[in-house]
Structure 1
Amino acid sequence: MAKILVTDDAAFMRMQLKDILTKLGHEVVAEAANGIEAIDKFKETTPDLITMDITMPEMNGVEAVKEIKKLNTDVKIIMCSAMGQQGMVVDAIQAGAMDFIVKPFTEDRIKEALDKAL
């Protein structure tokens, strides 16, 4: 079982991810609505894995990945992106993300990404 921080500016997306992750036997230790919150929650909860949306207000996912990786190079991050954000996904992978899931999510795809990451 992994401790996971879910980051997305859309509350319904966080809820959907949380439901799937919980069903897969993981614990969602915190949620964040933007990159700045994600960094704060990461410091508070030291999760094993972070799911990170790309497009968010205040600080986007790519910037947040860079900052979090400065704090802990070992943390595992999976990006969540809408269609058409391939360029930003590449930036995120270069910044240290391990994988990405395209929205809308399927439970199978999330499980596959988690199995690969953990």
Structure 2
Amino acid sequence: MALKDVKILVVDDEIFFRKVLRDLLEKIGFTVVGEAADGGEAVEKFKALRPHIVIMDIYMPDKNGIDATRDMVAHDKNARVLVASASTFDSDTQAALDAGAKAILMKPFVPKEVYETIRKLLTGK
């Protein structure tokens, strides 16, 4: 699959982080098909847009990233959700993995790590 064919949904309540991540992903060559500012909006866009990858913040108002991940996986057991976090040893990060997230992306985002994590998710390698 060509990079431009990989559809990604970016979910974060802070517009700054959505813009930074969108710019980084598009610079790498991926296609950002949508953005959401909270978990409820993310689940709706996930169902409508059918992205290959969702990059999800954990801490958001209304529905958080853990609950949204759980809902996405319940809707599609093959959902590929990456959790964006500033901490690797966080109980909420573990809760997101337990809810069905496939990997963790560390903030601040490092382009090579973002690319490698997405590549591994898509190829299974």
| Class of the TM-score when normalised by the shorter of the 2 chains | over 0.9
Give the equivalent residue in structure 2 for 1:103: 107
Give the equivalent residue in structure 1 for 2:120: 116
Give the equivalent residue in structure 1 for 2:49: 45
Unaligned runs of at least 5 residues, structure 1: none
How many percent of aligned residue pairs carry the same amino acid? 38
Unaligned runs of at least 5 residues, structure 2: none
Aligned-CA RMSD value = 1.2
Query: Once the two structures are superposed, what CA deviation does each residue of 1:46-74 show, in whole Å capped at 9, x if it has no partner?
Result: 10110000000001000000001111011
Give the equivalent residue in structure 1 for 2:71: 67
CA distance in 2, matches of 1:5, 1:68: 12
Structure 1 outlier segments of 4+, above 2 Å: 82-85
Length-normalised TM-score, structure 2: 0.90
Are the counterparts in 1 of residues 70 and 100 from structure 2 also a CA contact under 8 Å? yes
| 3-state SS in 2 of match to 1:15 | helix
Length-normalised TM-score, structure 1: 0.95
Give the equivalent residue in structure 2 for 1:6: 10
* AA aligned opposite 1:114: I
